[in-house]
Chains A and B, each alone.
Chain A
Amino acid sequence: MDNARSSAVVTLSVWNALFLREAISRVTSGRVAWLWLFLEPVLHLTVLMVIFSMIQRQVTQGIDFALFLAIGVLGYNLFRNSATRSMAAISANRALFAYRQVKAVDVVLVRAFLEGVVQLLVALLVFSGMALFGFNAIPADPMGVFVVFALLWLAGTGLGLILSVGSTLVPEIGRLVSLFFIPLYFLSGVMFPPSMLPAALFELLLWNPILHGLEVMRAAFIPGYHLLNGIEVGYLTAFAFASFFFGLAVHRRFSSRLMMQ
């Protein structure tokens, strides 16, 4: 038929529609939901700062500790939110599969993209706020920071793609994942520099790609930040691309089973 649209055109209009739809529900679900997007990480940081100043520990030498924490918290949130919100995308958008133009992979990718945009805005606002209050929150290597940001997002999205399929086919996976993210917070070096860890534990934590991401991001942010041996941005890059393409493949494999109620 001559009036049929090409697949690419259909997909683009679906992404556009889904993005606007997701963005609206992200900022209007609940009272002042948009404000909480910013307040949540700020409160999180404030609580950590209060706790650390009370126990009076000289955790890091020569580094602005607030900045160290901010990078950790924001970077970790970026990864976690990309993964968990993507994971929930299919069940949250089930009603929309009544339109054959909308595929499961579309709702996951669009939601992950929106989450990346939201976290980018939050990070820009938090760091600008910190700079206003006199912290040295201007990155030394902005491009490097952005690349690591993108890699953490891609890694979270890849994990989210895989988990979205997993949790749709096996609902128990969703419950296990939320449990899993609690210890991951402490194993990703959000609150302490890995140099404080015993060598044996550090060797073990090197399996965690988030640790690599947070450390490399700090090094790009703070001039003279000491990177331990074994921290490699290449490991995060490999993890990000591998999980992303594996996630796409899993979606392709199970596409028809995902659409069923």
Chain B
Amino acid sequence: MILVEDVHKRYQTQHGPGRWVLQGVSLTLPSTLSIGLVGRNGAGKSTLLRLIGGVDNPTRGRVERRCRVSWPMGFGGGLQGSLTGRQNAKFVARIHGHENDVNERLDYVESFAELGEAFDEPVKTYSSGMKSRLQFGLSLAFDFEVYISDEVTATGDAAFRAKAAAAFANLVGRAGLIMVSHNEGTLRQFCSAGIWLHEGRAHWFDAIDDALKAYRESIAK
């Protein structure tokens, strides 16, 4: 379970404090549900994912993770360009406490990402599709109770998208999933519940279709 209590967030800009991105978001996220996060660009979807993932701290309020939560996947970050895919994967395995079974995790990442020889090349030589293959393989190599995904299924070629979708479908029911996507089909496919972010506040919907409907109505206005 993840508790989000009265979270406010604004970023520091070069001209002092910026606008409030989130204003009083309170949520209780069960760790068995797949939740889709919708809202227009700049509504704070990625910000909320970062706060839930613990990568950033809220300006006010607090986030409490009572289960193993993944890092925000598909973030573009988390990979060191000068190191190879394998070295990056080793690093992630180690910080997650898998010092003893590093090799099994590496084998999993290597076979899932299907990078071939590029797995031993520096990550800075990768294309964006190759990077997201590696990131996706990395995030699935560890057993989290809740996975956080920021548009991760949107990248890669058709074959990889199918593979990623299958992996996600496999997760649903076994673990929780909180995902951001601008693709309604993806959201409908994987998510049962939905959160609509609007003007700094979060609105909870038990059915993803209702969340999408509220979102669509807000843009139509």
Contact = CB atoms under 8 A, between A and B. Distances in A.
A21 interface: yes
B173 to A, nearest CB: 19
B56 A101 contact: no
Contacts of A259: 55-57
Contact of A5 (B55, B80, B90, B97): B97
A20 to B, nearest CB: 7
B96 A101 contact: yes
A46 interface: no
Interface string A1-44: 10111000110011011101100110001000000000000000
Interface in A215-261: 256-257, 259-260
Contacts of B75: 98
Nearest to A11: B95
A163 to B, nearest CB: 20
Given A21-B80, A97-B77, A260 B11 contact: yes
A93 to B, nearest CB: 8
Interface residues of B, number: 29
B168 interface: no
Interface stretch (B65-73, B159-167, B181-189, B191-199): B65-73
B99 A16 contact: yes
Contacts of B90: 17, 20
B53 interface: yes
A14 B71 CA distance: 15
A95 interface: yes
A94 B72 CA distance: 15
A99 interface: yes
Interface residues of A, number: 30
Nearest to A259: B56
B116 to A, nearest CB: 22
Given A13-B97, A13-B99, A260-B11, A100 B71 contact: yes
Contacts of B66: 1
A102 interface: yes
B53 A95 contact: no
A100 B87 contact: no
Nearest to A97: B55
A28 to B, nearest CB: 8
Contact of B95 (A14, A24, A94): A14
Interface string B80-97: 111100010011101111
A25 B72 CA distance: 25
Contacts of A9: 97
B111 interface: no
Interface in B86-132: 87, 90-92, 94-97, 99
Contacts of A10: 95, 97
A12 B57 CA distance: 22
B78 interface: yes
Contacts of A17: 90-91, 94-95
Contacts of B35: none
A20 B94 contact: yes
Contacts of B56: 256, 259-260
Interface string A83-126: 00000000001111111111000000000000000000000000
A95 B72 contact: no
Contacts of B54: 100
B95 A13 contact: yes
Contact of A100 (B12, B53, B80): B53
Given A1-B66, A29-B82, A259-B55, A99 B92 contact: yes
Given A96-B80, A98-B78, A259-B57, 15 more contacts: A1-B67, A4-B68, A10-B95, A13-B94, A13-B96, A20-B91, A21-B80, A21-B87, A93-B80, A94-B77, A96-B91, A99-B92, A100-B55, A102-B95, A259-B55
Interface of B: 11-12, 53-57, 66-68, 71-72, 75, 77-83, 87, 90-92, 94-97, 99
26 contacts: A1-B66, A3-B68, A4-B68, A13-B97, A14-B95, A17-B95, A20-B91, A20-B94, A21-B87, A24-B83, A25-B80, A25-B83, A95-B77, A95-B81, A97-B77, A98-B55, A98-B71, A99-B55, A99-B92, A100-B53, A100-B54, A102-B95, A256-B56, A256-B57, A259-B56, A259-B57
